Every structure is written in structure tokens, then in C-alpha cells.
Chain A
């Protein structure tokens, strides 16, 4: 089975992605991650204004069978939270790179995402 790994994103080993534009980063989990978890039933995310530290856990995703921490790929301040995940956690399964986005973060350091895995590196990791 091969998983979608969009070319315009950067990745963390623990299966989170970031989409960077104009000093902000959108964060979510990868298609591979949602497939490993199975049916997502609950998502716990920080509130707007919270600060993230790269490498530290910022939330929890629960599927029917497992509980999994979610790690911050970058450091910054949360500027938007995808509130739809509260009532529609299945969006993480259905559209992990789109409507299943989790947070929007204002980056502390705009160059930080450069240290993350490239799409090719992440593809190698999950193959």
C-alpha cells in the first residue's frame, strides 16, 4: 500500500506535517499516521494563543484502538485551531492533508521548518 506524501509539505519522523506560507505553518498528521491509527474518534488540541515547542507533544489523537500523542514539528504560537475536529474527528481519516488540518501556528523562527524531513526523506522512512 502506498501513501500520499504531498511534495509541498515538510515532515516529522513521528508522522506530523507542516505547510509553511508567509511565516505561518499549518500542522496535521500524515495519511500514513491516520492509517496506522485506524478510525479516529477523539482529538485533543491546544487553544488559540498556546505556544508550541518543536519536538514536544501538543495534543492527543485517539482512535478506537489506540491513543497517540501528536508532536510539534515547529515552535510558535497557535493562531487558529480546526474546531471541526471536535465533532468530526473522522476528518483526520478522510482528508489528513486538507480538511483534517489541526493547527495554524505563527513561527518563532521562519527557518525552522528547513530542518524537517523533505517529502523524499519521509517517503523513505515509511516505505
Chain B
């Protein structure tokens, strides 16, 4: 299968980026160095090409009803220009993906837009179409992943940087709000969302105009490597690692995003999650900080101090900001309280570690 390329591939190649296969896309993983890019976002500002994220629009009289059926959050709570984080679950309440659902501004071409993870756009389009047809709903579902580029500008200086290039009123744009406007003269949607924990924006613009927008954002280009360390410091989930329908089947409650599940709405998976919400999940995702030297990685075992296996690491790294090894791991709920003493097994060696709440950084 050939890899999909973002519209800025040639631009990234000229910038001497290294690339990686991510969700079927050949994406820049590193421009200068993960540490330099990470620090730029935490202290100043950086830009990301996240055009591998899916974009699916939903329009028509039943657009809200359809999206309500297939996401765990309450779509009807959204006014135009608002967005919400949600899980997409199967009938067993297992997460298939996580997403941001946008109710677009009134003068935008479409009514709803949701952003599934890289490589999930085809499957999610099918899911929406099948549900629409099964329920005989009146809605148009369009996979626009290769019509839109998605760029993120993130960091404490992001508002000033973007304000100089856009006619959108950024100061009145609150967290999880979206507006339309031009960026570098290109008609775009500008959302105050991100995956880094910093102030920042995500910009949706036409695929062919991506270079004009990218070039106008004069700051450190950042790859998926820094995007991963930044999100991990915040304890944000990565599709395919913290949850995956086959390799890591988890409910939103296990994954720590039970707050996105609105049981007073009707959605696929609701009945299965009602019991989980009432009883609490048996296992939970927890933050872990290593006390010993070592770097926790995906798949490493977590044990008690006595060596009893209790769970496994889903993501781990050396935190560039904290200078400490950090991880996310699933453990039994009894161990998911902060400050439990555990071990992470690194190449056969149990390393002392303690559980802690996320985010790892105060933001």
C-alpha cells in the first residue's frame, strides 16, 4: 500500500525533515531535533503539519442526530462556532477512535466537522454512512481529508504570531471555539484547539493553499516526534497506543476520559458504558514517573514492588521539560491512585517508579 503524503511534503523535504509512516501517511517526524522543537513550543511557538488528521463534514437536517448517535459527548450542547472532544465507541463501549466535533460558524459551507485520527477517515466515513442508512436519516457525509490541510500553531507566542496573519478575532476565541477568517489571505477555519497543552490554534485551509499559510507562520517547524512528547507530558491519549479496538480495547472510563461520555444521550455503546460509569472501571490509565534511571517504552511491564505483574506501559519517554522519565500505563484501579510504588521492567530490570496524576506539567 502506498503512503499518503500531506500537501507540504516537498516543503518539508526542502527543510531537511526526516519522515515516518504514521497511520498510512508519510509525515515529518523531526526537523531540527525533538528537544529543540519541544522547547520552542513550551517557551515560544512552533508549527505542525497535521494534515494526516481526518476531516469529515456532516450536513443536512439529521446531521446533529447522526453525529449524536456515533459520539459519546452531547452534540446538541454545541452552538455554532463551538467544538467538543468525544470518543467514538462500538456497541460494547470500546473506543474505536477519539475526535473533536466542531459545529461550524453559521456562514461556513458545512454544519458539522469532525476530526478522526490519521488513517481512520475512511472507516469513520463508512461508519457514519452505514448508521445514516440503517436509521434512514437525512444527512450528507463527506470525507474531506484530502481537501483540507490542517496546520497547528502552538506555544505562548502563538496568539501574537497568528494575530499578525489573520483577520479572525482571536481574542474573543475561547478554548474549543472555532471561527472562520483568512490566514495569509487564505480562507480558513481557525480553532482554538491543540494537542500540546499550550495556548494555540489549529487551522483548516484548502489543501492547495497550505504552503501560503505554512510559510506565513514564521516559527520553528515541529514534527510528530515533538508532538508526541508534548502530548505525553499533558497525559493526552494517542489513538493506537492508549486505545485500539484490537490491541488495546478500552472504554473511555478506563482511558480517563469518562467526562466525555454523556449517558443522557443516545449513542452506540451507551448501554455498555452505563454499568462501567456506575461501578467504575477495573483498570485505569495512570501517569508513572520513574525514580530509577531508564526510559519507559510502549509495551514494558508494570509490576508491584514484589514483582507481581499488574499492567503495562502504553506510551513513555524522557520528558524534555521535566528531565524525568514519564509514562502512561494501565493498572488495576487500586493502583491508579497517585504515589503508589510500582516497578517498570526495562530490559528485564525492575526500575523503581511511582504513579502520579496527569498532566505531568501544570498548564
Hey, which bits of chain A sit against chain B, CB under 8 A? 1, 38-39, 41-42, 60, 62-65, 67, 86
Contacts and interface: CB of A to CB of B under 8 A. Distances in A.
B295 interface: yes
Contacts of A62: 295, 318
Contacts of A60: 347
A65 B16 contact: no
B16 A64 contact: no
A42 B318 CA distance: 9
Contact of B229 (A42, A64, A67): A64
B34 A42 contact: no
Leading 5 A-B pairs by shortest Cβ distance: A41-B318, A39-B35, A64-B34, A62-B295, A42-B295
B220 to A, nearest CB: 15
B72 to A, nearest CB: 32
B30 interface: yes
B225 A38 contact: yes
Given A64-B320, A65-B225, A38 B33 contact: yes
Given A38-B34, A39-B35, A67 B225 contact: no
A23 B34 CA distance: 39
A1 B295 contact: no
Given A1-B16, A64-B229, A64-B317, A41 B33 contact: no
A39 B33 contact: yes
A34 to B, nearest CB: 11
B203 interface: no
Nearest to B224: A65
Interface size class of B (residues with CB under 8 A): 10 to 19
Interface in B44-67: none
Contacts of A64: 34-35, 225, 229, 317-318, 320
Nearest to B20: A65
Contact of B295 (A38, A41, A86): A41
Contacts of A39: 33-35, 320
B293 interface: yes
A65 B315 CA distance: 11
26 contacts: A1-B16, A38-B30, A38-B33, A38-B34, A38-B225, A39-B34, A39-B35, A41-B295, A41-B318, A42-B294, A42-B295, A42-B318, A60-B347, A62-B295, A62-B318, A63-B34, A64-B225, A64-B229, A64-B317, A64-B318, A64-B320, A65-B29, A65-B30, A65-B34, A67-B295, A86-B293
Nearest to B36: A39
B84 to A, nearest CB: 32
A60 B325 CA distance: 16
A42 B296 CA distance: 11
Nearest to B33: A39
B195 to A, nearest CB: 17
Contacts of B12: none
Contacts of B317: 64
B199 interface: no
Contacts of A42: 293-295, 318, 325
Given A42-B294, A64-B35, A65-B30, 20 more contacts: A1-B16, A38-B30, A38-B34, A39-B33, A39-B34, A39-B35, A42-B293, A42-B295, A42-B318, A42-B325, A60-B347, A62-B318, A63-B34, A64-B34, A64-B225, A64-B229, A64-B317, A65-B29, A67-B297, A86-B293
Interface in B303-348: 317-318, 320, 325, 347
A41 B295 CA distance: 8
Interface string B17-50: 0000000000001100111000000000000000
Interface in B214-231: 225, 229
Nearest to A89: B318
B281 to A, nearest CB: 31
Central interface residue in A38, A39, A60, A62, by most chain B CB within 10 Å = A39
Contacts of A41: 295, 318
Contacts of B35: 39, 64
A126 to B, nearest CB: 15
A64 B225 CA distance: 8
Contacts of B16: 1
A74 B225 CA distance: 34
A62 B346 CA distance: 12
Contacts of A63: 34
A2 B34 CA distance: 21
A55 B244 CA distance: 39
